[in-house]
């Protein structure tokens, strides 16, 4: 049986994932930047949130601090075992493929962060995932998700860089574009066997079209960059300036 590349990668990476990504500050990104932006589009604080592709649950704490009730799902059982530690009894979790997302409930906010949808490699996968997220949105709910910009793939997936944290070291080795719009890297180092990671670049136009096809009205497309150690969300996005594009929508 063919194993999904994202599942294989994150089952292997789970044990070092938080250390490898220790520099990601979810309080600053989600709590201080994204949630205030979503309030501009009518988001009320402290409702029900569905975190799709929740990984090890690094988005849980900023939401829990603000009174949200959270349900998380991910393709990787190993990642979810760590998410259970992060969320404890306050978060409900289940294994789920976002391309086959079941009807879990009616949520005020559906999130899919940290370029989770870029791991969807098939032509129809993004629409399938967004349709599932749409089915879990309350009538006036919001969806928010991000994708990596073209500059990330042109740069980050062609470079070699070292990551060190608490005495452990890993090497990210970008292998560039290995198929049309498909980029590959290898992560190797302490406590893991070499792991292949693959992502698909999705342009702004492609994402907006997929949202509309899935029954989601786009409300905002924002570029994400940093200035003086602060996260900046700005419109319109610029794929050379910004390292992520953030999309906000609501059911049509």
Query: If residue 243 lies in a helix (H) or strand (E), which one and from where to where?
Result: none
Please identify every stretch of the chain with a pLDDT value under 70, giving residue numbers as ranges.
1
Tokens representing residue 143 in the block: 């969806």
- Domains recognised in the chain with CATH numbers: 5-151+195-251 (3.40.50.150), 154-193 (no CATH)
Rounded Cα distance between 83 and 180, Å, is 33
DSSP for residue 207: H
DSSP-based three-state secondary structure for 148: strand
- The 10s digit of each residue's pLDDT in 43-90 is 998 999 999 999 999 999 999 999 999 999 999 999 999 999 999 999
In the block, tokens 């975190």 appear at: 51
Q: Phi, psi (5° rounding) for residue 33?
A: -115, -55
pTM of this prediction? 0.97
As a 3-state breakdown, the chain gives helix, strand, coil percent values, each rounded to 5, of: 35, 35, 30
**Predicted pLDDT of residue 176:** 97
**Predicted pLDDT of residue 17:** 98
């Amino acid at each position: 049986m063919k194993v999904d590349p994202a599942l294989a990668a994150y089952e292997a990476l789970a044990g070092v994932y938080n250390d490898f990504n220790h520099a990601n500050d979810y309080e600053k990104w989600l709590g201080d930047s994204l949630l205030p932006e979503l309030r501009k589009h009518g988001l009320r604080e402290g409702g029900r949130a569905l975190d799709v592709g929740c990984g090890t649950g690094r988005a849980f704490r900023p939401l829990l601090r603000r009174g949200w009730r959270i349900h998380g799902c991910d393709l990787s059982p190993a990642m979810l075992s760590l998410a259970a530690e992060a969320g404890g009894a306050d978060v409900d979790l289940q294994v789920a493929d976002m391309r086959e997302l079941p009807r879990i409930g009616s949520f005020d906010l559906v999130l899919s962060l940290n370029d989770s949808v870029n791991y969807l490699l098939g032509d129809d996968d993004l629409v399938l995932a967004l349709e599932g997220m749409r089915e879990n949105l309350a009538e006036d709910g919001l969806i928010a998700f991000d994708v990596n910009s073209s500059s990330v793939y042109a740069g980050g997936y062609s470079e070699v860089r070292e990551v060190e944290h608490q005495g452990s070291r890993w090497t990210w080795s970008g292998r560039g574009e290995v198929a049309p719009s498909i980029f590959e890297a290898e992560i190797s180092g302490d406590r893991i066997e070499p792991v292949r990671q693959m992502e698909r670049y999705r342009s702004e136009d492609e994402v907006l079209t997929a949202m509309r096809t899935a029954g989601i009205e786009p409300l905002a497309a924002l570029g994400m960059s940093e200035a003086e150690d602060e996260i900046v969300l700005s419109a319109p996005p610029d794929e050379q300036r910004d390292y992520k594009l953030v999309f906000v929508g609501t059911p049509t």
